[in-house]
Amino acid sequence: SVSGDLCQSMWRMVVAVAVLCAGGWGFVARGTGPRGALPHSAKKWSVEIDEMAERLESGKTAVVSGLCAGIAATPIEGLIHLNFLPQWEFNVDQISLMGAAFGLVYRYAVREDDNPQLKMGVVAAFALTRALSAVDVSPSCDFAPLTCGPPLGYLDFDMLFQLLSSLASSGLAFAAAAAAVDAACDRAWLSRFPSRPPP
């Protein structure tokens, strides 16, 4: 039956993921010392840093980034969910939390590099991930291969609207968060990674 084949396929995927995770853990463990500790010759960072200062700067960055992402997403999410405000509130709360996580990743990824492609890449990765996860498959879609009807076959009009609206909201929110972090760093309100050497 279709349901039996689907269960078998899912079970095989679970086993495959478990094997891959176990193999990855073994690879990591081979490079570590007793009880998984890093060997004495290994360095956690490529430069000398004050970890407490970095944690503080990361916390400040997360707060700024989360607030700016939530504020930027508020109007467009309000337009999308004008007829159901609880969904609007949930989405703004969600994107604020994701904005805080974005700020942490953005700070450690961009560092001191003046590389617009790197900055846009981090924004695009977060925006695309959130937008794709927000799409609900229409009840009229057929299974294997996924066929949902016009205009694209794979995506119908409702799914396409969900994707594009969520992509617009996410892109605006994370771009605003990135701009706020960059502006705060330029004004020395926040510090890029690494912020300062230990005294």
pLDDT for the residue numbered 111: 83
Average pLDDT over residues 121-134: 94
Name the CA dihedral angle for 181, 186, 187, 189, rounded to a multiple of 10 degrees: 40
Question: Considering the chain, what percentage of its residues have pLDDT values greater than 90?
Answer: 48
**Whole-number mean pLDDT of the chain?**
82
pLDDT confidence band for 21 (50 / 70 / 90): low
pLDDT for the residue numbered 29: 47
Residue 160 has, within 13 A of its CA and on its CB side, a CA count of 10
Written as six digits, the tokens of 95 are 């994107």
pLDDT for the residue numbered 20: 63
pLDDT digits (tens, 9 = 90+) for 96-109: 999 999 999 999 89
Give yes or no for a cis peptide into 194 (omega within 30° of 0).
yes
Average pLDDT over residues 156-172: 94
pLDDT for the residue numbered 198: 43
pLDDT confidence band for 59 (50 / 70 / 90): very high
Average pLDDT over residues 132-141: 91
Higher pLDDT, 178 or 192: 178
pLDDT exceeds 60 at position 192? yes
pLDDT digits (tens, 9 = 90+) for 65-96: 999 999 999 999 999 888 899 999 999 999 99
Give yes or no for a cis peptide into 151 (omega within 30° of 0).
yes
pLDDT exceeds 60 at position 166? yes
pLDDT for the residue numbered 28: 45
pLDDT for the residue numbered 143: 87
How far, in Å, CA of 165 to CA of 162, rounded?
5
Q: Hey, what amino acid is at 120?
A: M
Q: Hey, what amino acid is at 91?
A: N
Q: Is the pTM of this model over 0.85?
A: no
Average pLDDT over residues 9-34: 56
How far, in Å, CA of 172 to CA of 178, rounded?
10
pLDDT exceeds 50 at position 199? no
